[in-house]
Structure 1
Amino acid sequence: MSGFSFLGLWIALAAVVLPTATAQSSSDCIKTLSNWGSLPTSMWSVQSPGKITFDNNNAQIYLQKPTSGKYGVGTDLHILQLSLYFGSIEWTVRQSGTPSMITYLTLLNTTTMDEIDIELYGNQPTTTVLTSKPHGSLTSGGRISGTTSSSNVANFHTYRIDWTPYNLTFSVDGTAAGTINKFQTWSNSSAMYQYPSSPSQIIMGVWDGQVEGDLEAGSFDWTTSPQPSYSSEISTLKVSCYTGPFPSQMNAPPSDPRSQDSNGANPNGKSIISSPVGGSSYGYSYTGVSVNPNDVTLVAGVSAGVGVFLMGIAATTLYVFYSYGNKRQRYIEPTNI
């Protein structure tokens, strides 16, 4: 998934002192989202026409029958306040099983266009795919297929990403499905790794693959649909920071020993990232959202004013969910919600 712009996200930094980054505390190293129905309405929002409901504290995310056109209307849960710079994600979900419907979790950096996707396809009840799409590429980063022991339509399964400066491993229900080795992705022509390595937001949702001609999930004629919508169900999302080593030269070619050693340091200081203050262009008043100045520093390589992240976890963390009509639109930031 690609094509998102952070225009409109302006962060007020004038009152914040930016100290040298310190080690991330253990209490900040694991963030678990569950009991979705208990989140206050002030902590999430859905932009029409997307749809989210809550059932037994799980989040139901809907693909809806279009009122015009021939493609289903998708829904995105955009977790604005929780991003990751290497680390692990465990996502427990049950998909709809509707043909053409793709249920996904994405890690996305909208500046570098680094992207990691987990996708469940509506017509494939035991298959899940992880794709790595660095620098906006759709194919160059690698692909791993995982298999569940039972239907991922009838049952919940847990999908895990372990993302480090050295490799990317995809697991299904605790069993590794495969690993992408960073050093095997080096491109001589571009003199860079085809490997995601930038702080990324976490986005979950459903969309109609037919929008972009992606028929891996099958095809579906909405004009004959007996139902107005179909939903996938999210149980939990667990995000854990990365506390392992870093190479002393992150971008050096694999022939340089410094690219694969463990003598470096996290260039951003921390692994779990949040943006605890927001811009008025989103239509929200972020009252009660505070920042601990001792846990704040700028992420390297991201300019203030557009797409700024702040490191650390806010004293009060606000999760905001956005929803968009289809894949081509869903990363266009709303100017009025």
Structure 2
Amino acid sequence: MSWTANFDNPDYGSSAFDADWTSLLTPNRAALRDNALVLELAFDSARNVGTGAQVSSHDKHTEQYGELTAVVKSGATHTGVACVLALQSQETRDEISFEWVGKDPACVQTNYSAKGAADFTTMVPASGIDTTVDFHTYAIRWTPEEITWRVDGRPVRTLRRADTWDATSRTHKYPDSAAGVELSIWDDPSTAGSAVTDWAGGPVSYAEGATYSMLVRSVTFTSYS
């Protein structure tokens, strides 16, 4: 089934949000304002850590194969801040994503994983995009045979299922499970030298009450089922 969340439509209110999304983190730092869904990362003095936001359509909309389109402005304006737009299966941890990190705000990364096997080596960057300054349209076309990532209508990467064959496990490491849409902003809590820290470029500065905001104007999923 195809569906759309137009956050920039004044008629899209809290009841519409609750029909499409579930907030996965406490406190909930996702809110509708300024004609967008705003996901925030800020310092939580009670916990002495940064806390972000994550929302998922998984409980409301889950599809296998189709096209995801979202209009997004990244909030990854400082090293260590990460923003993610993903198709993810909560059952198998299959994932297809766009990811932004403050280490390189002029770049969006494309990534995928199969059955929860996170692999930082599968990321492919698309550079030359002011991801934190302007809104851009990000799209993922997902079929049983290939995945294509596009930015503002321009293909930036194509992954063919045939190219994911793993001779050791004798399986294709290709995302093929029904998935929901996830949007998130978070910081890197890891220690120096970890794979996540090397990727995101942490730590994050929360000096003078700094808050980082990811803005999403709309999300559309067109099902091929």
TM-score interval w.r.t. the shorter chain?
A: 0.7 to 0.9
Distance in 1, Cα, partners of 2:121 & 2:4: 28
| Structure 1 residue matching 2:182: 3-state secondary structure | strand
1:66 aligns with 2:38: no
Question: Could you tell me which of 195, 198, 216 is aligned with 1:234?
Answer: 216
Offset of residue 148 of structure 1: 4.2
Distance in 2, Cα, partners of 1:208 & 1:85: 30
1:41 aligns with 2:11: no
Instruction: Please give the per-residue CA displacement for 1:243-268, whole angstroms capped at 9, x wherever unaligned.
Output: xxxxxxxxxxxxxxxxxxxxxxxxxx
| Structure 2 residue matching 1:130: 3-state secondary structure | strand
1:198 aligns with 2:181: no
1:153 aligns with 2:132: yes
Distance in 1, Cα, partners of 2:36 & 2:69: 15
Distance in 2, Cα, partners of 1:127 & 1:95: 10
Question: Could you tell me which of 97, 109, 113 is aligned with 1:133?
Answer: 113
Q: How does 1:148-297 map to 2 (within 5 A)?
A: 148-149=128-129, 151-211=130-190, 213=194, 214-215=196-197, 216-222=199-205, 225-242=207-224, 270=225
Instruction: Please give the per-residue CA displacement for 1:176-197, whole angstroms capped at 9, x wherever unaligned.
Output: 1111111011112212100000
Offset of residue 211 of structure 1: 4.3
Offset of residue 50 of structure 1: 2.5
Offset of residue 51 of structure 1: 1.0
Aligned alpha-carbon RMSD (Å): 2.3
> What is aligned with 2:31?
53
Distance in 1, Cα, partners of 2:149 & 2:118: 18
Asked if the contact 1:141–1:185 (Cα under 8 Å) also holds between the matched residues in 2, the reply is no
Distance in 1, Cα, partners of 2:99 & 2:53: 14
> What is aligned with 2:102?
122
| C-alpha spacing 1:94/1:123, structure 2 compared with 1 (3 Å) | same
> What is aligned with 1:32?
4
Residue identity matched to 2:112? S
1:76 aligns with 2:49: no
Asked if the contact 2:92–2:115 (Cα under 8 Å) also holds between the matched residues in 1, the reply is yes
Unpaired segments of 5 or more residues in structure 2? none
| Structure 2 residue matching 1:235: 3-state secondary structure | strand
Asked if the contact 2:78–2:204 (Cα under 8 Å) also holds between the matched residues in 1, the reply is no
Asked if the contact 2:79–2:204 (Cα under 8 Å) also holds between the matched residues in 1, the reply is no
Asked if the contact 1:141–1:194 (Cα under 8 Å) also holds between the matched residues in 2, the reply is no
Offset of residue 156 of structure 1: 0.6
Asked if the contact 1:146–1:171 (Cα under 8 Å) also holds between the matched residues in 2, the reply is no
Asked if the contact 1:95–1:122 (Cα under 8 Å) also holds between the matched residues in 2, the reply is no
> What is aligned with 1:87?
66
Instruction: Please give the per-residue CA displacement for 1:223-281, whole angstroms capped at 9, x wherever unaligned.
Output: x5112522111111111122xxxxxxxxxxxxxxxxxxxxxxxxxxx3xxxxxxxxxxx
Asked if the contact 2:5–2:218 (Cα under 8 Å) also holds between the matched residues in 1, the reply is yes
Unpaired segments of 5 or more residues in structure 1? 1-27, 243-269, 271-337
| Structure 2 residue matching 1:84: 3-state secondary structure | coil
In terms of fraction of residues, the more strand-rich structure is 2
Distance in 2, Cα, partners of 1:180 & 1:88: 15
Instruction: Please give the per-residue CA displacement for 1:7-61, whole angstroms capped at 9, x wherever unaligned.
Output: xxxxxxxxxxxxxxxxxxxxx44x2211366434344264531312333320111
Distance in 1, Cα, partners of 2:93 & 2:203: 30
Asked if the contact 1:100–1:220 (Cα under 8 Å) also holds between the matched residues in 2, the reply is yes
Distance in 2, Cα, partners of 1:39 & 1:211: 37
Distance in 2, Cα, partners of 1:70 & 1:174: 41
Asked if the contact 1:61–1:232 (Cα under 8 Å) also holds between the matched residues in 2, the reply is yes
Distance in 2, Cα, partners of 1:176 & 1:108: 21
Distance in 1, Cα, partners of 2:190 & 2:31: 24
| Structure 1 residue matching 2:98: 3-state secondary structure | strand
Offset of residue 111 of structure 1: 2.2
TM-score for the superposition, normalised by structure 2? 0.84
* Rg comparison, structure with higher value: 1
Offset of residue 198 of structure 1: 0.9
> What is aligned with 1:304?
none
